[in-house]
Amino acid sequence: MSYVQEVFETVKKRNPGEAEFHQAVEEVLESLAPVIERHPEYAETGLLERIVEPERQILFRVPWEDDQGKIHVNRGFRVQFNSAIGPYKGGLRFHPSVNLGIIKFLGFEQIFKNSLTGLPIGGGKGGSDFDPKGKSDREVMRFCQSFMHELSHHIGPDIDVPAGDIGVGGREIGFLYGQYKRIKNATEAGVLTGKGIPYGGSLARTEATGYGLVYFLKEMLEDHGHELAGKTVLISGSGNVSIYACQKCQAYGAKVVAMSDSNGYIYDKNGIDLKVIQQLKEVERKRIKEYLNYHPEAEYSENYRGIWNIKCDIALPCATQNEINDKEAATLIENGVMAVAEGANMPSTSEAIKLYQDHKILFGPAKAANAGGVATSALEMCQNSMRLAWSFEEVDQKLHGIMVNIYRSIKDAAKEYGMEGNYVAGANIAGFQKVAASMMAHGIY
């Protein structure tokens, strides 16, 4: 058994029942086999054994009171995975599906995604099995205050900098930051990113993940002689990433015909009316089926995964992990898809990715294609450190440059190790190299 296989078998044995974490580790380790062959010192110093084990895992109780006076208890998580190149950086996810294995998978992915940005940020992730849907603002506030009461002991501008993720938007970040200030008796704006503009947030942060995804997609397409303009696009999800990916695709002349939520998907052959989606999701917090009230000519289906049956040129999965399996990938390929770029974290199963690669579909893996959000979070940290604010245009320009550089770095890394065109391997290798060099320089700890 090879060194890489031994490490993976150990991961499975020590982390039973954590399928998403196993999936993420396996994908990375498979890509790193040729790197380990070229650098035997990594095996000699147990570098892979260290990189797959979080530096710290924090699990805590979060009691809170609802508007009827009933007490609820949720679990809070923070996994501080790797700080070799900078403070831990990664979002908080509030969703009933959250468990330790999912947080570890997200934190592990974050190590390499953050490295790819070229900015000094390590990898971490956190969250809770709390569901903000259907809760009043006061209930969400009370939960966030209880959550931050414990989390505040483990974070700081130079230690660990959380941000938002699924279920954690501007409202939640505001409540979390207010409680942090209250506990610390200090204005440490750099402790959280995704903040509101009036109290230290960055312009373009809201748009960053969706915009960055499309900047990456456009660079990948043009590098292979294609244009984004005129292409038909499917985008799963209807949250922050999906909305701004749609906006940027439309700005570049592409036609987005379908979007979804956890209940179903909407198909509008005339092109999605993004203002309606924004009104429903960002203002009214309603289900996507309400789109029909504005555009009765559109079609709605309750099976949200059915979105991948629609014929398209480009698919942008922006909802959640493992939303495209091998069957759905085969359908996309049969219907003529030419490119897939991931806006969500690990939305394609390993079997789906293999099909993309076997059929020469251009594929932008999540840790590269959706890195724009965390890159702009790091730019927010920079602005907080310098006590200044950049314009929207300045931040957007920096974001565009980062995404172009990410594409070029993963392309070059794949080519260097004899896997030209394999951007999964390229992303894993390029992200790993910087972290590995830093870990080697720091000694064994």
pLDDT, tens only, 336-393:
999 999 999 889 999 999 999 999 999 999 999 999 999 999 999 999 999 999 999 9
Rounded-to-integer distance, Cα 384 and Cα 322, Å = 35
Q: Is 377 annotated as a binding residue?
A: yes
CB atoms within 10 A of CB 224: 12
Q: Would you say 259 and 272 are in contact if contact means Cβ atoms under 8 Å apart?
A: yes
Q: Would you say 253 and 230 are in contact if contact means Cβ atoms under 8 Å apart?
A: yes
Q: Would you say 231 and 416 are in contact if contact means Cβ atoms under 8 Å apart?
A: no
Spelled out in words, what is the top-level CATH class assigned to the domain 54-188?
alpha beta
At residue 445, the pLDDT reads 83
At residue 135, the pLDDT reads 96
At residue 1, the pLDDT reads 73
Q: Is 240 annotated as a binding residue?
A: yes
Q: Is 113 annotated as a binding residue?
A: yes
Share of the chain above pLDDT 70, in %: 100
205 Cβ contact partners less than 8 Å away, ≥ 6 residues apart: 193, 194, 373, 376, 377, 380, 395
Q: Is 82 annotated as a binding residue?
A: no
Q: Would you say 246 and 277 are in contact if contact means Cβ atoms under 8 Å apart?
A: yes
CB atoms within 10 A of CB 237: 30
CB atoms within 10 A of CB 198: 7
Rounded-to-integer distance, Cα 306 and Cα 121, Å = 37
**Residues that are catalytic:** 125
- Is residue 285 very low, low, confident or very high in pLDDT (cuts 50, 70, 90)? confident
pLDDT, tens only, 223-260:
999 999 999 999 999 999 999 999 999 999 999 999 99
Rounded-to-integer distance, Cα 173 and Cα 192, Å = 8
| DSSP code string of 193-231 | SS--GGGT--TTHHHHHHHHHHHHHHHHHHHTT--STT-
Q: 209-213, 284-288, 378-382, 410-414 — which is least confidently predicted?
A: 284-288
Return the percent helix, strand and coil in the chain, to nearest 5: 50, 15, 30
Average pLDDT over all residues of the chain? 97
pLDDT, tens only, 105-117:
999 999 999 999 9
What does the DSSP 8-state code read for residue 83?
Answer: -
Q: Is 12 annotated as a binding residue?
A: no
Question: The tokens of 103 are what?
Answer: 């947080």
pTM: 0.93
From the candidate CATH numbers 3.10.20.600, 3.20.20.70, 3.40.50.720, 3.30.420.40, the one assigned to the domain spanning 206-369: 3.40.50.720
pLDDT, tens only, 151-163:
999 999 999 999 9
Rounded-to-integer distance, Cα 444 and Cα 50, Å = 9
**Residue 131 burial by Cβ neighbours in a 10 Å radius (0-12, 13-18, 19+):** middle
Q: Is 164 annotated as a binding residue?
A: yes
At residue 276, the pLDDT reads 98
pLDDT, tens only, 80-123:
999 999 999 999 999 999 999 999 999 999 999 999 999 999 99
Q: Is 89 annotated as a binding residue?
A: yes
Asked if domains 54-188 and 206-369 share a fold, the reply is yes
Rounded-to-integer distance, Cα 70 and Cα 199, Å = 33
Closest to 177 in 3D by CA, of 154, 196, 205: 196
Q: Would you say 25 and 11 are in contact if contact means Cβ atoms under 8 Å apart?
A: yes
Task: Indicate the helix (H) or strand (E) that contains 82.
Answer: strand 71-82
Closest to 193 in 3D by CA, of 157, 219, 221, 224: 157
Give the total residue count for the chain.
445
Q: Would you say 408 and 89 are in contact if contact means Cβ atoms under 8 Å apart?
A: no
Domain assignments of the chain as residue spans, ordered by start = 54-188, 206-369
